[in-house]
Chain A
Amino acid sequence: MKKLGLNTLSKATKVLAMTTLAAGISLANAADTIKVGVLHSLSGTMAISETTLKDTVLMMVEEQNKKGGLLGKQLEAVVVDPASNWPLFAEKTRELLEKDKVDVIFGCWTSVSRKSVLPVVEELNGLLFYPVQYEGEESSKNVFYTGAAPNQQAIPAVDYLMNDVGVKRWVLAGTDYVYPRTTNKILESYLKSKGVAAKDIMINYTPFGHSDWQTIVSDIKKFGSAGTKTAVVSTINGDANVPFYKELANQGVSAEDIPVVAFSVGEEELSGFDTKPLVGHLAAWNYFMSADGKENDAFIKQWHTFTKDDKRVTNDPMEATYIGFNMWTKAVEKAGTADVSKVQDAMIGISVPNLTGGMAVMNKNHHLSKPVLIGEIQEDGQFDIVWQTDGVVPGDAWTDYLPESKNLISDWTAPINCGNYNTATKTCGGAVAAE
Chain B
Amino acid sequence: MFTLFRRVFFAVLLLSASHNLLANNADTQPSLTELSQQLISANYKEKAALADQIALIEDDQTIVILQALLDSRLYYVKSNGQLLLVDSSGEPDSAQDAFTLQAVTGLGKRDIKKIGVNNSLRVALRSLISRAQISSKHKSQRMAAAQNLLKSSDDIDRAFIDQALQRETDNSVAEVLHLVRALMQLKADQTEERIEGLTALDGALYPEVRAGLSEFIRSFSDEEKLSRKNEYQLAQTTLTDIEKLVSINGYIENLYFGLALGAVLLLAAIGLAITFGVMGVINMAHGEMIMLGAYTTYVVQLLMPEHIGLSLVVAVPAAFLVSGLVGVLIERGVIRHLYGRPLETLLATFGISLILQQAVRSIFSPLNREVATPEWMAGTFMINPALELTWNRLYIIIFSLMVLALLALVLKRTLFGLQMRAVTMNRPMASSMGIKTGWVDALTFGLGSGIAGIAGVALSQLTNVGPNLGQAYIIDSFMVVVFGGVGNLWGTLVGAMTLGVANKIFEPLAGAVLAKIMVLVFIILFIQKRPRGLFALKGRAVDNG
Contact = CB atoms under 8 A, between A and B. Distances in A.
Interface of A: 1, 3-4, 7-8, 43, 45, 47-48, 51, 165, 176, 204-207, 209-212, 214-216, 218-219, 221-222, 224-228, 239, 242-243, 246-247, 249-252, 255-256, 259, 268, 271-274, 277, 279-280, 376, 378-380, 384, 386
B44 interface: yes
Given A1-B303, A255-B119, A271-B367, A215 B257 contact: yes
B470 to A, nearest CB: 12
Contact of A243 (B123, B211, B246, B464): B464
Contacts of B468: 45, 209, 239
Interface in B360-403: 361-373, 378-380, 388, 390-393
B88 A379 contact: yes
B212 interface: yes
Contacts of B362: 8
A207 B508 CA distance: 15
B361 A274 contact: no
Contacts of A378: 72
B368 A239 contact: yes
Can you list the 10 inter-chain pairs with the closest CB atoms, starting with the nearest?
Answer: A227-B211, A272-B368, A225-B207, A214-B257, A250-B390, A211-B463, A206-B512, A47-B366, A227-B214, A242-B464
A272 B369 contact: yes
B257 A272 contact: no
Contacts of A380: 90
Contacts of A272: 367-370, 464-466
A212 B264 contact: yes
Interface in B413-431: none
Given A47-B366, A256-B119, 20 more contacts: A4-B363, A4-B364, A176-B513, A204-B512, A206-B513, A211-B463, A214-B260, A214-B261, A216-B507, A243-B464, A246-B373, A250-B378, A250-B390, A251-B380, A251-B390, A256-B122, A259-B119, A271-B367, A272-B369, A272-B370
A166 to B, nearest CB: 9
6 contacts: A215-B257, A219-B508, A225-B211, A227-B214, A242-B368, A272-B466
A279 B72 contact: yes
A272 B461 CA distance: 13
Contact of A205 (B260, B367, B504, B511): B511
B139 interface: no
A215 B504 contact: yes
B508 A274 contact: no
Contacts of B72: 279, 378-379
B210 A274 contact: no
Contact of B253 (A218, A239, A268, A280): A218
B268 to A, nearest CB: 11
A222 B122 CA distance: 22
Interface of B: 44, 72, 88, 90, 116, 118-120, 122-123, 126, 207-208, 210-212, 214-215, 246, 250, 253-254, 257, 260-261, 264, 299, 302-303, 358, 361-373, 378-380, 388, 390-393, 462-466, 468, 472, 503-504, 507-508, 511-513, 516
Contact of A386 (B44, B378, B380, B390): B44
A379 B90 contact: yes
Contacts of B513: 176, 205-207
A286 B368 CA distance: 24
Nearest to B505: A215
A268 B503 CA distance: 32
Contacts of B246: 222
A207 B368 contact: no
Contacts of A219: 508
Residue from the set B119, B462, B504 with the largest chain A CB neighbour count within 10 Å: B119
Contacts of B264: 212
Contacts of B361: 43, 47
B512 A210 contact: yes
A244 to B, nearest CB: 10
Contact of B118 (A216, A243, A376): A376
Given A243-B462, A379-B72, A380-B90, A226 B211 contact: yes
A176 B514 CA distance: 11
Nearest to A204: B511
Given A215-B504, A226-B210, A274-B370, A250 B365 contact: no
A217 B211 CA distance: 18
A234 to B, nearest CB: 14
Contacts of B363: 4, 8
A386 B118 contact: yes
A160 to B, nearest CB: 11
Contact of B391 (A43, A214, A250): A250
A239 B466 contact: yes
Nearest to B126: A256
A274 B212 CA distance: 34
A165 B123 CA distance: 12
B218 to A, nearest CB: 8
Contacts of B366: 47-48, 51
Nearest to B506: A215
B194 to A, nearest CB: 17
B464 A239 contact: yes
B214 A252 contact: no
A158 to B, nearest CB: 16
Contacts of B116: 384
Nearest to A379: B72
A228 B207 CA distance: 11
Nearest to B253: A218
Residue from the set B208, B361, B465, B512 with the largest chain A CB neighbour count within 10 Å: B512
B512 to A, nearest CB: 4
B122 A280 contact: yes
A280 B118 contact: yes
Contacts of A249: 378
Contacts of B358: 43
B386 to A, nearest CB: 9
B464 A250 contact: no
Contacts of B118: 280, 376, 384, 386
A50 to B, nearest CB: 10
